A and B are shown apart, each in its own frame.
Chain A
Amino acid sequence: MTESGHIKQPMAYQTLAQAAEAPLQAKSDEVLITLVHQGEQGAYRILVERYQERIRNLIYSIFREQQVVDDLSQEVFIKAYEALPQFRFQSSFYTWLYRIAVNKSRDELRKRKVRRWFSLQTMLDSGDKELGSKIVVEQHDNELQELLAAGLKTLPEKYRIAIILKDIDGLSYEEIAEIMECEIGTVKSRLSRARAMLRKVLEPLLKENE
């Protein structure tokens, strides 16, 4: 209750009232989420379409495998849909969504690690594939991008995700800290370490480009 005796509406409601007439596409994330909370399923479609490419690209940057991109992205949006009733507007929707995507990717990476432990054959196959992707690069137009991707793949998961979020997705330190659920200082050191490692791997390439 406010001093004047009126029930204080959440921010989203006020925005909703103001933007009631605007088409769904023009509404903010917060308004759309409130609409989903109220049972307006169409609003979630707008949210998905708004962020699907960013999430797909993030997952592609982490895995560099087109075949996992759509499945994992789908999982991310399903998880977000299920958890949306608990979303309390304490962070922006896209950092929240990124956090889900990063956690899903980490889960997948861990699963792969476990699978490698338990299957000798898989270990040999994927080991070869991974090593191969680091070294074997076909001579074609986007060789540079391929080398960069191969270099990224050599980084441990926590460094890889930090540098992708910063340099590819252009997020701020605060946002990265929120997504990766760590301190800003940790983000700083992870980024610095990731860059140092990547610089070492791609040294010849960087010299060529100077």
Chain B
Amino acid sequence: MAAVTIALKDLRQRIRDHSAFLWGIVAPFGLALVFSLILGNVADPSSFDVSYAVVDLDGGEMGRVFVDEILMPISKAGPLGEEGFFDLVVVTSEAAAETMAENGDVDAAIIVPSGFTDAVNSGAPSAVTVVGNVNSPTLAEVARSIASGYADEVNTVRTSVFSLVVLQGEMPDEAEMSVLAAAARAEPAPLVVGDDPAASKILSAQTFYAAGMAIMFLFLAVQFGVLGLLEEKQNGTMARLLAAPISRTSIVAGKALTSFVIGISSMAVLVVGTTFLLNASWGNSVGVAILVLAGVLSAMGIMFFVAAFAKTPEQAGNLQAIIAFLLAMLGGTFFPVYQAGGLLGKLSLLTPHAWFLRGLGDLTGEGTIGAVFPAALYVVAFGVVTGLLAQFRLGKAVAP
């Protein structure tokens, strides 16, 4: 009961000087807001309008097949209608196509050269040109791969026919040639690429910044309870507390309770606030609650550890700030360090921050509450180990 009284008094004090509110809510929320404003759109490209220009300078069979049978059917001008992948603009001059790509009117321009059909039939080299707009590298790359796909097909038919010619040792006439080419085209592809879509465990930009800032500042916000132990001692009120009929355990428990309440409530406000105001999607609320609980316990464990080894509240506060920033940085709350892989990725996974974010990713990717347990377990274990280590030294803090 004494623990609750101590905690209530501490909480009232923290509410009055706004410090817990500033560290626990205003700072993380403000930073998450700034990050998602400036970077949210970069990381999350929404639907885009794709458009390509094509010019057929060839006028022969092969050029016609490419435009009418390869490009048209998948464009919005084809049978798919609005479901088509891109707008196709057919232009008549190379210069016009290039200008469109240069100005960004289209994402890429595809140019079928003159004499393309003749080159294919006679075995002479020829090149389809793709001019991509520099600001749409991805969409330009898709245009390039469509063109490459066609080139691959043409080359394969040619290699097939000429392999036969080499073995036969004589050049067939034109009629035979086109029969062979048709047969080569009919030969089924030996390799197909199957698709195995993977669930993404990567958080959306908005969620990533909200969660990253929340967990980073959690480690700073919990200091307000535990540091009270050192403050009471510095102010001389610890001796008075000990003289009162209050057990040492109650004093420690009271301070722990303060940290716990501040940690849980600031996280709760951040989760709800960023969900509604910043469009973050944290995932299943029970799973998030488990991770938040684990995070708070972890932060408290470290805080107790720091308090046990520091002499003054200032020293402990500064040390906790150093630890909080280092773990946050390495844990990938600003940029995804884990994705770098290698040694850096392994180091990152030593931090509770990386596991907290990973737990949220698992929750999003797998969609079941159970998915958070491995991550939550590590996060808690971090707090339990540091908290237990603190117990050996905490006696000196709770002494007159």
- Tell whether A pairs with B: no
